[in-house]
Amino acid sequence: MRILSGIQPTGDKHLGNYSGGFRQYVETQERGDAFFCIVDLHSITVPYDPAALRSSTLDLAAMLFAVGLDPQRSTVFVQSHVKAHAESAWLLQAVASYGQLGRMTQFKDKGEGKDFVSAGLFTYPVLMAGDILLYQADLVPIGDDQRQHLELARDVAQSFNSRFGETFKLPEGVYPTVGARIMDLQEPTRKMSTTNGTPQGTVRLIDEPDVIRKKFKTAVTDSGREVRRGDDKPGITNLIDILSVATGETREQIEARYADGAGYGQFKGDVGEAVVELLTPIRERYLLLRSDEAELLRLLRTGAEKATATVEPTLRALYDRMGFVQP
Ligand code: AMP
Ligand code: TRP
The residues lining ligand 1, judged by C-beta closer than 6 Å to any ligand atom, are 7-8, 16-17, 19-21, 142-143, 145-146, 180-182, 191-193
Q: What single-letter amino acid sits at 85?
A: H
Residues linked to residue 33 through DSSP beta bridges, in sequence order: 2
Cα 79 to middle of ligand 1, angstroms:
19
What confidence tens digit (pLDDT) does each residue in 262-273 have?
789 999 999 999
Query: Can you tell me the distance from the alpha carbon of 170 to that of 133, in angstroms, rounded to the nearest whole number?
Result: 8
The answer to whether residues 109 and 220 belong to one domain is no
Region 201-216: what's the mean pLDDT? 98
* Residue 197 domain-assigned (yes or no): no
Residue 90's pLDDT is what?
98
- Which of 128, 140, 156, 195 to probe ligand 2 with, by most ligand atoms within 8 A of CB? 128
The answer to whether residues 171 and 308 belong to one domain is yes
Cα 222 to middle of ligand 2, angstroms:
34
The answer to whether residues 52 and 165 belong to one domain is yes
- Are 25 and 141 in contact by the 8 Å Cβ rule? The answer is yes
CATH at residue 173: 3.40.50.620
Q: What single-letter amino acid sits at 171?
A: P
Query: Can you tell me the distance from the alpha carbon of 157 to that of 154, in angstroms, rounded to the nearest whole number?
Result: 5
* Residue 188 domain-assigned (yes or no): no
The answer to whether residues 175 and 238 belong to one domain is no
Which residues constitute the domain of residue 147?
A: 2-179+293-321
**Res 261 pLDDT > 80:** no
pTM of the predicted structure, to 2 decimals: 0.95
Confidence of residue 32 (pLDDT cuts 50, 70, 90): very high
The answer to whether residues 89 and 13 belong to one domain is yes
The answer to whether residues 43 and 121 belong to one domain is yes
Cα 191 to middle of ligand 1, angstroms:
9
Contacts of residue 325, defined as CB under 8 A and 6 or more positions apart, other chains included, come to: none
Closest ligand 1 atom, residue 145 Cα:
10
Query: Can you tell me the distance from the alpha carbon of 256 to that of 148, in angstroms, rounded to the nearest whole number?
Result: 36
Q: Is 162 exposed, middle or buried (0-12, 13-18, 19+ CB in 10 A)?
A: exposed
What confidence tens digit (pLDDT) does each residue in 123-171 have?
999 999 999 999 999 999 998 889 999 999 999 999 999 999 999 999 9
**Number of domains forming the structure of the chain:** 2
Q: State whether residue 323 is helix, strand or coil.
A: coil
* Residue 26 domain-assigned (yes or no): yes
Residue nearest to atom 22 of ligand 1 (CA): 20
